[in-house]
Amino acid sequence: MSHAFVEVQNATKRFPGTGKHALPLTVFENISFGLNKGEFVCIIGHSGCGKSTIMNALAGLDQFSEGSMVMENKEIKGPGLERGVVFQNYSLLPWLTALENVRFGVRARWKAWSDREVTEHSMKYLKMVGLQEVVNRKPSQLSGGMRQRVSIARAFATKPKLLLLDEPFGALDALTRGVIQDELIKIWSQDQQTVFMITHDVDEAILLADRIFLMTNGPHARIAEAVEIDLPRPRQRASIIKHPHFYTIRNYLVDFLVNRSSELRSEKPSGHGMLYPTPVDPVRQSSPECATETASASPDTESHQNLVNFTPKETRHG
């Protein structure tokens, strides 16, 4: 059996009940998914469905109650430098300057490097996010957008194999968010890291992601579907909305969040074993003749449907 780059199997998170005889609260249950190497995956769901728990578990900062996580055939246990994290609140160390914050990460990653190498490497990434002018300022002297750029530079500079972004643009205004999204795409297309990102913004997810995981509402949440985004890369904020498929995908996602995320919750998934999200391509679904074509096109996919979720387009990574 082939393994994806990152495999999460049967993940469950329960919190003990608050009362004396209260039942434990199950946030999510039996979640399985895989991330392919070099893939950009966004996860969308309402608050309380456990997105952040999944992310923190992947970062090694939290634990599932049950379930396993494997990355490159090694179990994920505790935090590690091969997994970089960008937090929503930036998590910069306020007593260090922007440069020192990035250096902090780079120094931790490459302990044998000389000070000059560390500084040069850090500066390279700060330049990529357009902060070369303000590297000697402390975070308190930077705007929210600039702080998040420093945080992104720090995460990318350590070249983690898996990059975890927890709503990185959640606290930013729309204009700043757009600019940093473009920068994120730019850095990502250079380094081709695997990215797993939480977002609440449907447009942002379409712009960035190869696949979008849709979570049903908690408690007992699950990842119901994995929507394939087949819009051609490189994508640009301005031109992507003109693509004929954009609104098909967008409507599908919004419909899921508004209507189906709560409907699916009561729907008990049948069967046991690992429940991987159903792959969905909203564009093909909307034109019936294509849909039948997909179903019969690849028997290989069908036979593995309940085990491993392949993305059809792997061409970018050869």
Partner 1 sequence: MSRDATAEKLSLNVRAALLAIVLLVVGLGVWEGVNHSPLMGGNETLSEYEQLLAGADERASVPPPSEIAAKAWKELSNPFYDAGPNDKGIGIQLGYSLYRVLSGYLMAALVAIPIGFLIGMSPLAYKALNPFIQVLRPISPLAWMPLALFIIRDSEASAIFVIFICSIWPMLLNTAFGVAGVRNDWVNVARTHELTSLQTAFKVILPAAAPTILTGMRISIGIAWLVIVAAEMLVGGTGIGYYVWNEWNNLDLTSVIFSILMIGVVGMLLDMALAYIARFVTYAE
Residues lying near partner 1 in the complex (CB under 8 A) are found at: 59-61, 78-81, 83-85, 87, 89, 91, 93-95, 104-105, 108-109, 138-140, 158
Q: Residue 89 or residue 143: which is nearer to partner 1 going by CB?
A: 89
Cβ at position 61, least distance to partner 1 in Å:
6
Residue with tokens 């357009």: 130
User: CB of 85: closest distance to partner 1 in angstroms?
Assistant: 5
| Least separation in angstroms between CB 107 and partner 1 | 9
Q: How far is the CB of 81 from partner 1 (least distance, A)?
A: 5
Q: Among residues 104 and 256, whose Cβ is nearest to partner 1?
A: 104
Nearer to partner 1, 78 or 232 (CB): 78
Q: Please list the residues that pair with 71 across neighbouring strands.
A: 6, 74
Whichever of 48 and 94 has its CB closer to partner 1, that residue is: 94
In this complex, which beta carbon is closest to partner 1, that of residue 65 or of residue 91? 91
Question: Least distance from C-beta 138 to partner 1, angstroms?
Answer: 7
